[in-house]
Amino acid sequence: MSGIPHFDHKMSDAEGLMWRLEKDPYLSSTFANVTVLDRAPDMDRLRARLERATHVIPRLRQRVQPVPANLTAPIWVEDPNFDLQYHVRHLALPKPGTMRQLLDLAALVAGDAFDRTRPLWQFVVVDGLRGGKSALIQKLHHTIIDGEGGVRMSLEFLDFERNAPEPEPLDPDAVEAARAAQPEGPSPDLLRDLLAGGLRMPLGIIRQIKDLLADPAGLPEAGSAAADTVRSVLSQLGDTESAHSPLWTARSLQRRMEVLRAPFEDTKAAAKRLGGTLNTAFLTAAAEAAGRYHRDLGAPVDTLRASMAISTRTAQSGANAFSLARMMVPTGDMPIGERFTAIHEATTAARDAGSSASLETLAAVASTLPTSLVTRLARQQAQTVDFATSNVRGAPVALFLAGARILENYPVGPLGGVAYNLTLLSYDHSLDMGVNIDTAAVTEPELLRRCLERAFNDLLAT
């Protein structure tokens, strides 16, 4: 069982923050994937592979155990009532089995809150898709893994050929040893351990931070460690300017999914011709589409604020590893090459700024504050962003799931209080994109999808 990413027993501060924020349903961090298959998968084979995966990846058998008084982030403990059948479901679409029906079902599945007393994942196999196809809706909570880690995890149940041989059985002794190493609950000495140094920040610094957040005027006289931390936090929280869209002002829990595809090699070549990267091309198309949507509805806007997830993953990390950067992007009517250059500069500046105020730092400070205050601050920050983006690298070749070939693979990122989230996953020479939309904000979701398609076509034509 070597080579498997390491998962800590305790959530990181960032994961603990995501867990606490779900006291506000607008800030849910659940993400999903809609995978279209060329035929129905072999369910017995799929369940066997997933059963095996739950032993290789302990997180899939673990539930969240809160820590008394929220003294630190929650811990993961094995679920004594784990039932694979609860997490792996099988149903069929009614006729005619359209893609629209599948996406509407996926929106409902992803929108349902997890049972917080069970492991936080669910797979739904959907038969009856037009043309003899099937689909898989994968739903995971962000505290389990981020998008890139989810791609790695999927290799435990995906194959590189249709009739691939079954993996070697796991060593029962190794499985039992791994299970024995999992904590059964909070340590009776948890409070003592925390006070002895288990917290990620020294208690003295945390007290100073809380005092400085209550009265920032004391910054000049504060110690350097606390002052530096508070300055980075205040630089993040100090931006309370409202999102710029004159149209995307309302928020709700109503969701709609749209999907689109673009060719990988051609898009990467277009980005190179314009002097940047695929990620810059992706964000340029998103900004182009957002601006075009507003112009088509008679409400042009020159700039919008976007957020971008940036991976900070290391080779053997199993936990979440990303930061969030916010930036202003030009959305007025202009040549797409000019927009590309402006966004390339904006993303470079946002990455540099994000390195000095990490998500973990913000989360560590947030862990010292009441949940009601943290959720209020997070909602306030979400209201400064118009739309969110994320780019995940996937497999460059075809993959198979229990004998069925994956044809399309659309990621669905969490909204977190913004108007829409556009997430990209590269797969088998294609860029597959899922658009998670708050329909109270984006009242014409099909128009937004068409604007995105036109934006990528314009980018490819440069």
**For position 253, what pLDDT does the model report?**
94
Q: In the structure, what pLDDT confidence band is assigned to residue 252 with cuts at 50, 70 and 90?
A: very high
For residue range 356-375, what is the model confidence (pLDDT) as tens digits? Answer: 445 556 666 666 667 777 77
Residue keyed to tokens 């099909």: 446
Q: What does the pLDDT average to over 309-330?
A: 65
On whether the CB atoms of residues 271 and 280 are closer than 8 A, the answer is: yes
**For position 302, what pLDDT does the model report?**
97
Q: Flag whether pLDDT at 17 surpasses 60.
A: yes
Say which CATH superfamily domain 13-180 falls into: Chloramphenicol acetyltransferase-like domain (3.30.559.10)
**For position 24, what pLDDT does the model report?**
84
Q: What does the pLDDT average to over 412-427?
A: 94
**Low-confidence winner among 36-40, 185-189, 448-452 (lowest mean pLDDT):** 185-189
**For position 347, what pLDDT does the model report?**
87
**For position 350, what pLDDT does the model report?**
77
Domain 255-391+433-460 top-level CATH class? alpha beta
- Candidate ranges 84-88, 212-216, 230-234; pick with highest mean pLDDT: 84-88
* Calpha distance 62→78 (Å, rounded): 4
* Calpha distance 88→42 (Å, rounded): 13
**For position 353, what pLDDT does the model report?**
61
Share of the chain above pLDDT 90, in %: 55
Average confidence score pLDDT of the chain: 83
**For position 445, what pLDDT does the model report?**
98
In the chain, the largest separation of any two C-alpha atoms, in whole Å, equals 70
Q: In the structure, what pLDDT confidence band is assigned to residue 219 with cuts at 50, 70 and 90?
A: very low
**For position 238, what pLDDT does the model report?**
54
* Calpha distance 32→438 (Å, rounded): 16
**Low-confidence winner among 101-115, 139-153, 358-372, 434-448 (lowest mean pLDDT):** 358-372
Q: What does the pLDDT average to over 414-433?
A: 95
Q: Flag whether pLDDT at 355 surpasses 50.
A: no
Q: Flag whether pLDDT at 2 surpasses 50.
A: no
* Calpha distance 60→55 (Å, rounded): 8
**For position 226, what pLDDT does the model report?**
47
Higher pLDDT, 347 or 403: 403
Share of the chain above pLDDT 70, in %: 75
| Beta strands in 372-450, from DSSP E residues, in sequence order | 387-392, 400-401, 404-412, 420-427, 430-438
**For position 26, what pLDDT does the model report?**
85
Higher pLDDT, 369 or 77: 77
Q: In the structure, what pLDDT confidence band is assigned to residue 162 with cuts at 50, 70 and 90?
A: very high
**For position 183, what pLDDT does the model report?**
53
Q: What does the pLDDT average to over 85-112?
A: 97
* Calpha distance 106→45 (Å, rounded): 23
Tokens (6 digits) for 302: 């020159």
**For position 201, what pLDDT does the model report?**
46
Sheet of strand 420-427: strand arrangement: 255-263, 430-438, 420-427, 387-392, 303-311, 322-330
